[in-house]
Amino acid sequence: MSTEYLSFHHLSKTFQKDPVLKDISATLERGHILGFLGPSGAGKTTTIKILTGQLRPSSGEAYVLGKHCQDIDESIYEQIGIVTDESGVYERLSVYDNLKYFARLLNVPLSNIPTLLNRIGLYEHRKKAAAKLSKGQTQRLILARAILHRPRVLFLDEPTSGLDPATSMEIHKMLLELKDAGMAIFLTTHNMEEAAKLCDNVALLNEGIIVEYGNPKDICLRHNIHKRYRVRLHDGSIHELAQSEESARAIANWLAQDQIETIHSCEPTLETVFLSATGRSLS
Ligand SMILES: Nc1ncnc2c1ncn2[C@@H]1O[C@H](COP(=O)(O)OP(=O)(O)OP(=O)(O)O)[C@@H](O)[C@H]1O
């Protein structure tokens, strides 16, 4: 059985006369996370909508679990989970009753709910009305709903947008556990640190074009043209050195005199790669 759970080839989308996606291609394997990274308006949500059958592409092909995205039906919806801004929860229902409602819809045993509530850190809030949850708790409830039926592919549109760092970290931990369990995760984000930490591959999207695609570390190393090192000495001074014989001699001298506190190579980050590829910032 193929481990390629999602793929799209030469996808384009034009709204009226406005081209929003321009010939983009990528793939996502079982147990991998693919990050779509780009500034506001780059076309990230449009891509998710096409991949989940909510929008038709103007041209190109997309497949989810082997099915053409224009033929997505219930059999595929049972195997995918979607978290977007519009993933509403029933505000007047309790946390538990929200999950119970969706468990019934999705034919999921109710006995799965307590374990999921524990895992997502909402067990103690299970009787609280969804309207009374904090933003982070609501986001966790939406995520719980999306993974209730253990989908094989999970789509997440800005899963940690507006959340505090602690809640974001909890969500990251959960996503890595889901990935380890074999789920394929497609996520969009503005946050390059999030992408670098979570994603096996990223696509840097700018004005509908993928300007870089691949493993985040490989991308940064590929752009490490001006190899530089940052050395901090015990006296507190910091020296940034280009790779050269002269720098090698200076470092060797400091080493011999036991003066070096730390030494780091200075590869570019995804943010700086994006900036140099597009002339604009991700945030
Ligand atoms: N239904 C639509 N009709 C016309 N234009 C649209 C429609 N949906 C999106 N757009 C336009 O397509 C462009 C890309 O929108 P999209 O929502 O995909 O961006 P995004 O990268 O997800 O941005 P953000 O990070 O702000 O959510 C925007 O210029 C938007 O105005």
Residue 50 CB partners (closer than 8 Å, separation 6+): 8, 11, 13, 21, 56, 57, 62, 69
The pairing of strands 228-233 and 238-242 is antiparallel
DSSP 17: T
* The pLDDT value given to residue 86: 61
Identify the residue whose C-alpha is closest to ligand 1 atom 3: 15
pLDDT at 113: 95
CA nearest ligand 1 atom 6, residue = 15
With beta carbons less than 8 A apart as the criterion, state whether 254 and 233 touch: yes
Using CA positions, which residue lies closest to atom 25 of ligand 1? Answer: 40
- Residue 155: what pLDDT? 95
**Structural fold of domain 4-221:** Rossmann fold (3.40.50)
Say what percent of the chain tops pLDDT 70. 98
Measure 16 CA to ligand 1 centroid, in angstroms: 12
What's the confidence (pLDDT) of residue 164?
84
**In the block, residue with structure tokens 């990050």:** 35
Phi-psi bin for 63: left (phi > 0), alpha (psi -120 to 50), beta? beta
Bigger pLDDT: 274 vs 88: 274
For residues 283 and 273, give the distance between their C-alpha atoms in angstroms, rounded to a whole number.
13
For residue 18, the ligand 1 atom closest to its alpha carbon is: 5
Provide CB contacts within 8 A for 142, sequence distance 6+.
83, 87, 89
Domain positions in the chain: 4-221, 225-266
ipTM for the assembly: 0.96
User: Which residues does ligand 1 sit against, CB inside 6 Å?
Assistant: 15, 20, 38, 40-46
Q: Please give the radius of gyration of the chain, using alpha carbons only, rounded to the nearest integer.
A: 22
pLDDT digits (tens, 9 = 90+) for 111-148: 999 999 998 889 999 999 999 998 888 888 999 999 99
**Which of 12, 13, 21, 45 most suits a substitution to test ligand 1, by most atoms within 8 Å of the C-beta?**
45
